[in-house]
């Protein structure tokens, strides 16, 4: 897990290998994701991120992360339907 980050542009994830003590999952348009998620960090207009210091911590947040990804997919599907 050391030094890993995840990037989500059109897809909601990106692992960025810059840190040696945690992994960061980046949602570049995370502010658009509907819902409240306690471990989704950020307050700017676009990006949100989630950090993990261990595989164990990532496993503990599996359900929350799954809900974030489901919400992102539903949002993207809705946006795609509006463009048709």
Reported as a single tens digit per residue, the pLDDT across 13-43 is 555 556 678 888 888 889 999 999 999 999 9
pLDDT value for 17 = 58
DSSP state of 83: H
Residue pair 28/40 in contact (Cβ under 8 Å)? The answer is: no
Average pLDDT over residues 6-19: 52
pLDDT value for 82 = 83
Going by C-alpha positions, the residue among 35, 24, 25, 27 that lies closest to residue 11 is: 27
pLDDT value for 26 = 87
Cβ neighbours of residue 45 closer than 8 Å, sequence gap 6 or more: 31
Question: pTM for this one?
Answer: 0.71
């Amino acid at each position: 897990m050391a030094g890993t980050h995840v990037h989500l542009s059109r897809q909601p994830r990106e692992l960025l290998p810059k840190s040696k003590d945690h992994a960061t999952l980046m949602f570049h348009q995370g502010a658009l994701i509907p819902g409240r998620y306690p471990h989704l960090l950020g307050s700017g207009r676009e990006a949100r991120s989630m950090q993990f210091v261990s595989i164990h911590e990532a496993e503990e947040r599996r359900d929350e992360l799954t809900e974030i990804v489901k919400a992102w997919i539903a949002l993207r599907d809705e946006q795609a339907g509006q463009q048709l």
